[in-house]
Structure 1
Amino acid sequence: MQRDILDEAESSGRGLADAYPRVGATVGLQVLHRPTGLRGKVNKFTGEIVELRDPGGREHRFRNRPGAFAVDGETVTLVRPAAPTGAAAGLRRTAAGALVADHAPAKVAKASRIWVEGSHDARLLERVWGDDLRELGIVVEPMGGIDDLVERVREFEPGPQRRLAVLVDHLVPGSKETRIAEQVEGPHVLVVGHRYVDVWECVRPVSLGIAAWPQVPRGEDWKAGVCRRLGWGDPQDGWRRVLSAVDSFADLEPDLVGSVERALDALADAD
């Protein structure tokens, strides 16, 4: 995949009315992304994110907005396709929005890996992408932080059949995380992430029944500070609330969804 242009499409829904025909985003559907003029076929659809494959084979991601796409010259809103029937009835939709075989045999794990910062990140990925990970034979491993990431990547010895994707919290310009990421990225190592302080914050407030995540001053333990301000008890109690609020990708912020999808794409075709 050549690029991720989620941010380029951030404003694609501004000023667009909500009353457009609804069209199921089936894989292979030919569409036009109206804000950028890019034409391509739907390659993946997660509800909030639409991935198109252009005629040259490049993949592009856009946020799904009402009226952001056109089909056969008509402005539409893309929605989740209807459940498969007939020959496709042996498929089921995962919590991440993908279609997988309902009774597929377990696959041998690939040498490639997805590394995440901690056990909470790993549990969240399993909650939403567990079926997809097993379908692809990809294992997720928690690192316990990224301070020693450079050395760990060196020891892993990435290669064409042994790729590595690293999911990082707070991957924003100028951050410690970004500086470390720049030292390890390469042809067989992809570092993706989100802008939030912790993976908890990637769960949408509406899914938790709160107005917004509270602001915690720098220097105060973030999880403990959040739990105090929300009356959630200790961080263990808070984590149980966070995890139980997630049923599918729709409960997560697009930053995290897009990053995990990029990681899966990068590792899926490694033999």
Structure 2
Amino acid sequence: MRTGSRAVTRDVEAAPGLVVEDVTSGYVGEVITVEKTNGGHVVVLEDRRGARRSFPLGPGFWIEGKPVRLVRPRPKSAPARPSRTASGSVAVHGARARVARASRIWVEGKHDAELVEKVWGDDLRLEGIVVELLQGADHLEEILTQFAPAPQRRAGVLLDHLVSGSKESRLAAQVLHGLGAAAQHVKVLGHPYVDVWQAVKPERVGLRAWPDVPRGTDIKVGSLAALGWPRRTQADIAQGWARILGSVRDYRDLSPALLGRVEELVDFVTIE
């Protein structure tokens, strides 16, 4: 006389990676996908040798010796839209980028521009602000003279190593003096780091602090040496920067010494 109850068949989504056994044939395989055919939906299984077979979706399968009915996976809901941009501003979903203003922000080089784009890109597109390259602080006077700052053509400039007594601070003061009355439409700010790489919090790349690179050693090469990363070629340096930039998730991964200056520049060039 039999005792006990008959095993209950339960519904299980045929999600990729699920391992099941077809009861009739004994075929064991991992779910690859669910496909729609003229005869209905089938589940595609792949065994340990890489061979694939299709079976009608529904009852007739086992998982760990228990009967299951394979059903189509439910559609994944769209991920919730972030409420904040990478800079910490309130995200404005569905807004179209504004037509570019006449005002501009200049940064020293490509890496500065890429970092600003990663954290402030959404904000700048919404405000219609274009970021351009100085290709070095030595070009500041030439670029601002050609730009001809005015009330509706404001210029914001972000320089590396803008500290008292530095070459960059002397250049900035000289250029602003030479602009005369137009200087009121220019704001030159900067961070204290020799290179913008050091504005990324060192913990993001596994360091306690960025290295104090000695004079005569390229700051990027010295930084990569401290990280133990390749540094012999320009390709190595580019790859190193890509890894550092990739470690930045949002504004919280940057030094306040950079954050505040960029925010000031954005505010300055967006004054109506």
The bucket for the TM-score relative to the shorter chain is 0.5 to 0.7
Whole-Å separation in 2 of the counterparts to 1:135 and 1:183: 33
Aligned residue for 1:100, secondary structure, equals coil
* CA spacing shift, 1:209–1:108, aligned 2, 3 Å: same
Q: TM-score with structure 1 length normalisation? A: 0.65
Say how many residue pairs are matched. 182
Q: What's the Cα RMSD here?
A: 1.6
User: Partner of 1:253 in structure 2?
Assistant: 255
For 1:25, the equivalent position in structure 2 comes to none
Partner-residue secondary structure (3-state), 1:211? coil
1:41-84, CA deviations, whole angstroms, 9 ceiling, x for partnerless residues?
A: xxxxxxxxxxxxxxxxxxxxxxxxxxxxxxxxxxxxxxxxxxxx
Secondary structure at the aligned position of 2:83 is classed as strand
Q: 1:201 aligns with which of 192, 198, 203?
A: 198
Give the CA deviation at 1:205: 0.8
* Cα distance in structure 1, aligned partners of 2:196 and 2:250: 15
CA distance in 1, matches of 2:226, 2:136: 25
The CA distance in 2 between the partners of 1:121 and 1:247, in whole Å, is: 16
Q: Deviations over 1:247-269 (max 9, x none)?
A: 10100000100000000010112
Structure 1 163/231 Cα, relative in aligned 2: closer, same or farther at 3 Å? same
Aligned-partner residue type, residue 257 of structure 2: D
Q: Is the 8 A contact 1:91 1:102 kept in 2?
A: no
Q: Compare CA radii of gyration and give the structure with the larger one.
A: 2
User: What is the CA distance between 1:192 and its match in structure 2?
Assistant: 0.7
Name the residue aligned to 1:265: 267
2:188 matched to 1:188?
Answer: no
Q: 1:213 is matched with which residue?
A: 210
Shift of 1:227: 1.1
Is contact 1:90–1:101 with CA below 8 Å preserved after alignment?
no
Distance 2:214 2:94 in 1: 48
1:115 Cα shift?
Answer: 0.2
AA matched with 2:261: S
The SS at the match of 1:93 is: coil
User: What residue ranges of structure 2 are gaps of 5+ in the alignment?
Assistant: 1-79, 177-182, 232-236
Structure 1 runs (4+) greater than 4 angstroms displaced: none
What TM-score, normalized by structure 2, do the two folds share? 0.64
Q: Which secondary structure does the structure 2 equivalent of 1:115 belong to?
A: strand
Cα distance in 1 between the residues matched to 2:142 and 2:270 = 25
Whole-angstrom distance in 2 between the partners of 1:158 and 1:195: 26
- Matched with 1:97 is 88
Given that 1:91 and 1:99 are in contact with CA atoms closer than 8 Å, whether structure 2 keeps it comes out as no
